[in-house]
Amino acid sequence: MLLFSNDGRLTSALLAPKRAVAREYEIVVRGDVGQEGSKRRKEIEGSVSKGVKTDYGVFEGNIVWMRRCDKKEEWEHQACGNDSGGNRNDKFDYGEGSGGGGKEGEEENEGETGEERIVGEEGAVDKAKEEAYSRIAVVVGEGKNRMVRRMFAALSLHVVNLKRIWYGNVRLDEGVEVGRWRYLNEEEECFCRGIIEEFIKDGKEWL
């Protein structure tokens, strides 16, 4: 979901880190989040809530829900992971201890064969051997570059698909298909006016 505006004040207000305007993402990760109430699931929820340490800073958020994908979904995600989009998302080594020497967004390859590897707390594992997929809904208050991907990669959950469904009080409608758009409704416009007023009260008009 993308928001378009010709009001620079609204853009600044929405993006200002101090305002921490909430964004909700639905993501698909390569990895198993475990069963309801399991130790693994509690560890993921606790880590995200407290803040996940990455080479690009500490990122935190709140897990809304998460579940293991069924067999049909796994097949679909494996197919997605083979295209340019899925591969692009996983070509980064975000694991702790990687040194963070490369520039942001720089691709890193492991081994002379060019085989992609992913790094977690228990070391490197071949992607082909990690077949489980899970769905997670997470809310964050910042929009830093690849923040969600880096957060979950540090937890050995590698994002293969990501979709923003909510920004502030604007939610992605099911009826709005890919490539389509709609105007904000009255409630959403009121929210936008309010956040602009708060931003101006802080004595700011631009970032």
Tokens of 85: 């989009």
In tens, the pLDDT along 30-79 reads: 989 988 889 999 999 999 999 999 988 999 999 999 999 887 776 666 65
What the chain holds in terms of domains, given with CATH numbers, is 1-19+184-207 (no CATH), 22-167 (3.30.70.1560)
Predicted structure pTM score: 0.72
Region label for 4, one of left (φ > 0), alpha (ψ between -120 and 50) or beta (otherwise) = beta
Residue 156 and residue 100: Cα distance in Å, rounded?
Answer: 17
What is residue 76's predicted lDDT score, i.e. its pLDDT?
62
What is residue 205's predicted lDDT score, i.e. its pLDDT?
56
Mean pLDDT, the chain, rounded, equals: 77
What is residue 193's predicted lDDT score, i.e. its pLDDT?
93
Is the separation of the CB atoms in 195 and 11 below 8 Å?
no
In tens, the pLDDT along 163-199 reads: 999 999 999 987 788 888 999 999 999 999 998 998 8
What is residue 74's predicted lDDT score, i.e. its pLDDT?
66
Reported confidence tier of residue 110, pLDDT bands at 50, 70, 90: very low
- What H or E segment, with its residue span, contains residue 81? helix 71-81
Mark 159-196 as b/e (b = at least 16 C-beta within 10 Å): bbbbebebbbbbeeeeeeeeeeeeeeeeebeebbeebb
Is the separation of the CB atoms in 137 and 24 below 8 Å?
yes
